Every structure is written in structure tokens, then in C-alpha cells.
Structure 1
């Protein structure tokens, strides 16, 4: 099987999986019981279709500030198979530092310049820029922060269809 020359890295919470309902458990680091509440989490519309569409063309990874076990359990709960996970304990520094993104790129043996990082938070965008990756901010509420975009240029998307368009443009131009 031919490996893709591009990679997509997805932030986990509030990007790949809507986890707002368990935010308090995450903030309080209740990792031993949090899996009991995964039924309160959900996938954004068309997430599985998006992943199936990009999987043949991109290598995939998840970058999260949460522990690996939590990430693996949450992905398994939603039946998502993502081959690379860069989790909290994998690096000394965390987003907005680029270290987790660079760690993930190294796991896939791919240049950061051939990576697209998709996240919902400003720290995702800052980390993308510092790592030399393409940044896509995915806001399910479509909240535009003009100052943030002026400071760290990136594409703002509000659904997976818009992300697909951005990916197509990036790969075509890149």
C-alpha cells in the first residue's frame, strides 16, 4: 500500500469528538471514571464519512493534551481508527508549543510542511504555525475571531465539507 505524502492531524476534544458534556471531568482530571460518561459525547455530523473520504489520500493522526488512555478509549467508544496519537505524556511541552505536532509528524516520518493540523482552539493554530504546518480552525459554531486570523493566518471551517475543500486546495497548491 502506498503511503500518502500528506498527513492530517486532528485535535481530539471539540474537533474530532464533541466532548463539552464531559469537560468538567477532564478539567478535574477524573481519568479513572470519565469513560463512564462517553455516552454524553458525540461525533460532529458526517465525521465518519469525512475520515473514510480522506483515509486513502492522507495519513491520519490525533494530537491531544489529554492522556493516551483517555484518547484511545474515546476513539474506540466512537469506533474511530486513527493510527497515530500524540497524547499528553508523549511530549514535555504542549500546545501552543509545536512539540506534540512535530512528535506526530516524526511518528509518520513526514515533513511538517506536508501536514495539515485541524483544531478548534487558538493554541492549535499557534502550534501549527510554529511547527510549519498548514492550519485549519474548525469551529462547529462558526465563530470568527478576526484578530486571531490576522495574527495567525489560517482557514476557518464550520463543517467537514468545508474542510474537504480546504484540503483539496492545500494539496493542489502544495
Structure 2
């Protein structure tokens, strides 16, 4: 209990003193690469990473600071999928192999092997298949209309949340990562 109380106090103090912890990762493409299977999550930067598989398929990963939520990561993923479709003259897209969760960075002491988490946050990834019509996909796949998704996701991504919610989000991710370490 003392550990959690001390960690919460330190987090609150760092937010108060620096102010840098209370910002969310902006929607922007941090990397645009060629897809390589098996790339470790630690190699992705904060923000949106798009990896081109071919002219119609992209692997998109959204990795945000702990002040954000998994809902915002998902909205940012869908917004980017819609923007990809529209910028490549496609009206629709399908999402395949979605994954959501958290990412954790920490340190491990050399002698005791005790780990501590220094950074954590939400992540969301998947493959975006750009299509012109439903005939290009299997019947089970849900076809998304890019302009409609953009209208829904963009305001959500651009919305600001209060400082207390950001602090609560960050505590949640740090605590979740400490439990698995």
C-alpha cells in the first residue's frame, strides 16, 4: 500500500512540476515504413506507425502515452485507416487481425532482478485492407466507409480530457505493468 501511495505521490509531483506528463500523444504519423513481420513493439515510436505491406494493405500501430486511454488509441487507429483509404482514392476499408493492449518500459536491477516500470500506455494495431467494393472481401468481414468513420473518429481523437483523467489513466497503466513484472 505504501508503495502505491508513494508512486501516486511521485506521479502527481512530476505532473505538477513538469507539466509534460499531462499531454496526450497527438495524432500524427511518427513512422512510415515497409512492413516486416515480427517487429518488436519496443521499436515503435509514440503516435501512429504505418507499414506498407502492398498497395492495398497496411499494418497500422498506434502507441500512446499512459495519459491516453485504449479507447483513444482505437479511435486514432480507425481515423488513420480512414485517412489512408481516402488519401489512396479508396472509399472503403476492412480491418483484420486487430490487437489491443498496453506497452510497458522499465528497468531491471542487475543483482536483485527487480523490475520497475518507468513508462506505459495503450496500444492498438491491425491490418487495414483498402477496398473499392464489398466483392473484394470475405462475407464475414465488416466493411467500413472511410468518410463516415472519419466523421466519427476525428472529433473523438481531437477531444481534450481533463488532467485528473489523464493522471488516472497513467496510474492505471503503470500499475498494470508493475503487476506483470
Look at both structures and tell me which one has the larger radius of gyration over its CA atoms. 2
The structure whose RCO (Cα within 8 Å, separation 6+) is larger is: 2
Higher relative strand content:
2
Same fold (TM over 0.5): no
Q: How high is the TM-score relative to the length of structure 2? A: 0.28
Q: How high is the TM-score relative to the length of structure 1? A: 0.29
